[in-house]
Amino acid sequence: MAQQQTINLPLWTVVGEGAIGLLSAAYLTNAGYPVQLHRRTEGPFQFDFQSGTNSQPIVLSAPRKLPYTHVLLPVKAYAVHEAVQQLVSVLSDDAQLVLSHNGMGTIEQVQSLLKPKQGLWFLTTSHGAYKPEPTTVVHSGRGQSVLGPLNQAAMTQQSAVERAMHAALGPVTVVADIWPALWLKLAVNSVINPLTSLHQCKNGELSGLKHAAAIRVLIEEFVMLAKASGQKFSIEAVAQRVALVIEQTSDNYSSMQQDFAKNRQTELNYITGFLLRQAKQHGLDLPAHQAIYQLLLQKSPR
């Protein structure tokens, strides 16, 4: 019975070897999915998957099977366009591609590269994972995900993609319109990530009076821009969401803080930079986001 199920499940290709990628690969493997990694180096890949007190070796075989029919692309926003440019020649004509990252501005880049029958999805997740070493992934915080189709071709394989994403990063809420979820995640990332990067602090250190005024003005500007872009949020609803994420992730360093601390490329241009580009299109000024953007650019020009 279990064998029968494995045979019917599609092969998923996970792009990159980031923490969310390896976490998804581990959960997909455990759910019986055949999984392969698309990475720079060919060959089998073994890593250690740790969750709670459990530790499990996961072995992904090689060589890679082409064409790719089901692809999860959990790479940083700045790497998405180039990754998809490299993938297009090995995607099947009806491939399903799931993007998952912080920030916005990549969807338009990817849409123009796909063929009419290739489905595009976005999955936003609150699962926490990190890699203490290159071949170990730790599931550090249980979360949930929101998944939505971005084009018509995605609808043709809706249940297959939903089932797999539920196995990889569930529980998953599937929505017809993913944009409100993406904007809300952007709100959270546009407050927590730049502020923790500027102050080199953990997320939890943003709670309390010291940063309250800065958080408030960043949220007010965000809500004004979101409204101009067709996404209506109340300041209170966004403030509550930001406060909740700060509380739930209080002991974590944000992804951007870690990138700055390690002098790596950051997602600033796809978070604050995206907001500023949108604001320009609408003829709006976002002085607080602009100021934090300039300060962070001085810290790292990338």
Active site residues: 185
From the list 203, 266, 269, 278, which residue makes contact with ligand PAF (rule: CB under 6 A)? 203
Residue pair 251/204 in contact by the 8 Å Cβ criterion:
yes
Please identify, using beta-carbon distances, which residue of 39 and 241 lies nearer to ligand PAF.
241
Residues 6+ apart with CB under 8 A from 106: 77, 80, 81, 99, 270
* Residues paired with 45 in a beta bridge: 60
CA distance 126 to 20: 10
252 touches ligand PAF by CB under 6 A: yes
Q: Which part of the chain contacts ligand PAF (CB under 6 A), choosing from 131-139, 147-155, 232-240, 244-252?
A: 244-252
Kindly give the interhelix angle for 179-199 and 287-299, rounded to the nearest 10 degrees.
Answer: 50
Q: Dihedrals φ, ψ of 232, to 5°?
A: -95, 120
Helix (H, G, I), strand (E, B) or coil at 29: helix
Please identify, using beta-carbon distances, which residue of 212 and 244 lies nearer to ligand PAF.
244
Residues 6+ apart with CB under 8 A from 69: 10, 11, 92, 94, 95, 96
From the list 22, 75, 165, 188, which residue makes contact with ligand PAF (rule: CB under 6 A)? 188
Q: Which part of the chain contacts ligand PAF (CB under 6 A), choosing from 66-74, 143-151, 154-162, 245-253?
A: 245-253
Nearest distance, CB of residue 235 and ligand PAF, angstroms: 19
Please identify, using beta-carbon distances, which residue of 264 and 280 lies nearer to ligand PAF.
264
Please identify, using beta-carbon distances, which residue of 118 and 125 lies nearer to ligand PAF.
125
Helix (H, G, I), strand (E, B) or coil at 138: strand
Q: What is the dihedral of CA 98, 173, 180, 94, to 10 degrees?
A: 30
At 65, list the tokens: 């099977």
189 touches ligand PAF by CB under 6 A: yes
Q: Which part of the chain contacts ligand PAF (CB under 6 A), choosing from 6-14, 49-57, 247-255, 289-297?
A: 247-255
91 touches ligand PAF by CB under 6 A: no
**Which residues of the shown chain bind ligand PAF in the complex (CB under 6 A)?**
102, 188-189, 192-193, 203, 245, 249, 252, 254-255
